[in-house]
Amino acid sequence: MIVLDASTVLVVIYDEPGAAKVTLMLEEQSCAMSAANRSEVVTVLIDGGWPYEAALNILDALEIQTIPFTREDANIAAALRPRTRSVGLGLGDRACLATAIRRDLAVLTADRIWAGLDLPIVVDVVR
């Protein structure tokens, strides 16, 4: 299983560079995202003019497992703040990383800055 950052899901929905790679991953292996990142994707779509139900439907159609954002995940996300503040990672980014770290899973993101972070997990960047 691989954990998807909100940015990778949006790459697929908006058919941006890297969409083919993410789509292939969705077809070939089990993919998951934090409930916090699911909310982030739906929020971005709504802000972009999508009706709420349409945003939910497109996300559901991708069949990405949603992992609850737990107290432990919240603690890990908070602990990541000092080492990620300088590169501008927000709560959504850290929620994704925490979800992957706690479960010892790789993460896929479209945010290139993540590649330079010193993390205990594999970070793959969509290009």
Whether the pTM exceeds 0.95: the reply is: no
Going residue by residue through the chain, which has 127 residues, state the pLDDT in tens, using 9 for 90 and above. Answer: 999 999 999 999 999 999 999 999 999 999 999 999 999 999 999 999 999 999 999 999 999 999 999 999 999 999 999 999 999 999 999 999 999 999 999 999 999 999 889 899 999 999 8
In Å, how far are 37, 49, 86, 113 from 33, measured between CA atoms? Answer: 6, 23, 24, 19
Cβ–Cβ under 8 Å, residues 21 and 31:
no
Give the right CATH number for 2-125 from 3.80.10.10, 3.40.50.1010, 3.30.200.20, 3.30.565.10. 3.40.50.1010
> Domain map of the chain by residue range?
2-125
